[in-house]
Chain A
Amino acid sequence: MLAVFGLVAVGCSSSNDSGTVKSGSGTTVTTSGKPTFAAGTTMANLQAKGKITVGVKYDQPGFGQRNPTTSQIEGFDVEIAKLMAVGIFGGTVADAANKITFTEAQSANREPFIQNGTVDMVIATYTINDTRKQIVDFAGPYFVTHQDIMVKATDTSIKSVNDLNGKKVCSVTGSTSATNVKAKAPTVDLTLFGTYSDCAAAMSDGRVVAVTTDAPILAGLVQASSGQFKLVKAPFSDEPYGIGMKKGDDAFRSFLNDRLDAIYKSGEWASAFSRTLGAIGLDTPTPPPVDRYTSGAVTSTTGASSTTSTTR
């Protein structure tokens, strides 16, 4: 208990009542009662306000997608948001979920919304990279995906990225997936479409023999193909997804990282994964270690960013 207390105190500069168990405790569902935080921290402010605004995807199957029959947003990112909220408000997952206001995170608004405080954090298949780190900070990663390959279910010739050399392969314009595959298989014959569903269509009529991008996107396509396609499961390249938050709020970042460690240990992370991404056919991996990097100074940048996340 003392160790836990110490970790928390260092991590997020909070003072803790003896009755409150907050992190690293192995409690699966909840912490009893309200966690307490040092005044002035983001956690304390959010708790006082009784609400937190989180940017998530509304159109990414498995991660964040709005279900029109229930009007609820569903997916792994949404579950992570709820588990983070439990760390701030205490109580059950359902209680904490009631305190979350979800907002759609689009590629156009992610950074501005974090910077101007419209959202408190963004959990939206948001790849951690150095360009973005110049204007926002990331807790996590809470998930590392890999680029993978999708082929027709009957195909046995493609077993790894090397086998793509000389083959007609589909990806999406302006994505890092295209660049990655070109680096690993230099003689690949790339066809670039606007969307991945176009790629899937091109593969079913034989214009391409494989499609490559982040595994979860491919998993969604495999599921929608009703047995026509399969995942090769030969991952190459890493795409670490992080929790985007305001730059320089180190206390909040440490808190979120601690909270991630806690849900890794408690098994809540794995259970959230199997309920969401597991349902579209992904095996539950071991959680990635969080990266407690030192946030650099805010450097101003000019010029358009050249990095485009493969998952929008």
Chain B
Amino acid sequence: MTAPFVADALGPRGRRRVLVSSVLAGAVIVLVFGLALNRLADKGQLSDAVWAPLRQWSVQKFLLLGLWVTVKTAVAAMVTAVVVGVLLALGRLSRNGPVRWLSGAYVEVFRAMPLILLMYFVALALPKYSIHPSPFQGVVLALTIYNGAVLGEIFRAGILSLDRGQSEAASALGMTYWQSMLRIIVPQAARRMIPAIVSQLVTLLKDTSLGTVILLDELLTKSRDTGTFFHNRLQVYTVAALLYIAVNFTLSRVARRLEVRQRRKYKAGAITVTGVEDLAVLVAHGEAAVA
């Protein structure tokens, strides 16, 4: 996607200039790439010694098992976070003052907290109260607390984005507040939210890597151990990054497709959000609202 203002056709001089610049830019890029490769070769980073371990099936299996833990954790946390998020969104839209206030406070506090601090808290402070979560439970809990707050805001935006006529029609039919919420509003909002949930999965998947500090045996932990063992951290972390990118790219694609399908089906903008930073990006696009 290019900005609208470059879309208009160029004149002959403009076209020539773009062509010359393109060739120059291309040459610079190739040069930089070549220098980087040269540096890698120079330092022996392309040699068989550092890459051979990664060709062993046992090592690949070790890393892929880590990826499986990563995905499993992200999915589990997503399910629980969606539940917490829906409850928080309903809480913030509730007509009951204290409920509204509590949900609001929860969202504000936990959205402002670094996730890694929550992880440490769950793993090192909860045992003080005789709660001993396993690394998996600990990471899912921390991710749920945090993402519940983020999703709560997204869901609230989704509910508010529905046409007022929907709830008005529901009350005209004699439905109570809760009936209209559960039977009319939430199902429609939820459908619109599906792409957002898939996108949020990308952020969640990235965030599972923080589990390494509380001993979750996921992709990053396994990569670290592999890199330490074979003295090839550069190579192993690069492979790990590529694995994350591959999974996330696929997820983003799925989200995009769902979104397009939804736009066609409901003729309404679905809300796409991936994490707080992306939420910001989308606010700029005018597609989501952050309180």
Contacts and interface: CB of A to CB of B under 8 A. Distances in A.
Q: Is there any pair of Cβ atoms, one from A and one from B, under 8 angstroms apart in the complex? A: yes
B62 interface: yes
A61 B225 CA distance: 11
A65 B213 contact: no
B4 to A, nearest CB: 47
9 contacts: A65-B225, A67-B229, A68-B58, A68-B63, A69-B58, A69-B62, A112-B124, A112-B127, A116-B132
A69 B224 contact: no
B132 A68 contact: no
A224 B56 contact: no
B58 A59 contact: no
Contacts of A70: 58
Interface stretch (A102-110, A229-237, A298-306): A102-110
Interface string A96-139: 00000001101011001000111000000000000000000000
A5 interface: no
Given A68-B62, A69-B62, A118 B226 contact: no
B228 A65 contact: yes
Nearest to A105: B215
User: By DSSP majority rule, is chain B's interface helix, strand, loop, or mixed?
Assistant: helix
A218 B228 CA distance: 15
A117 B123 CA distance: 12
Contacts of B230: 68
A71 B56 CA distance: 13
B127 to A, nearest CB: 3
B231 A224 contact: yes
B132 A118 contact: yes
Interface string B201-226: 00000000000011100000110111
Interface of A: 58-59, 61, 65-71, 103-104, 106, 108-109, 112, 116-118, 224
B25 interface: no
B50 to A, nearest CB: 12
Interface residues of B, number: 24
Given A59-B224, A69-B56, A104-B215, 10 more contacts: A65-B225, A65-B229, A66-B225, A66-B229, A68-B62, A69-B59, A108-B120, A108-B213, A112-B124, A116-B127
Given A69-B56, A69-B58, A70-B58, A109 B225 contact: no
A118 B63 CA distance: 26
Contacts of B120: 108
Most buried by B among A58, A70, A106: A58
B267 interface: no
Nearest to B224: A59
B264 interface: no
Contact of A117 (B53, B132, B213, B225): B132
Contacts of B224: 59
Contacts of A71: 62
Contacts of B215: 103-104, 106, 109
Top 6 A-B pairs, shortest CB-CB distance: A116-B127, A66-B225, A68-B62, A68-B226, A69-B58, A59-B228
A122 B231 CA distance: 26
A164 to B, nearest CB: 27
A68 B124 contact: no
Nearest to B133: A118
Interface string B103-144: 000000000000000001001100110001000000000000
A151 to B, nearest CB: 21
Nearest to B57: A69
Contacts of A104: 215, 221
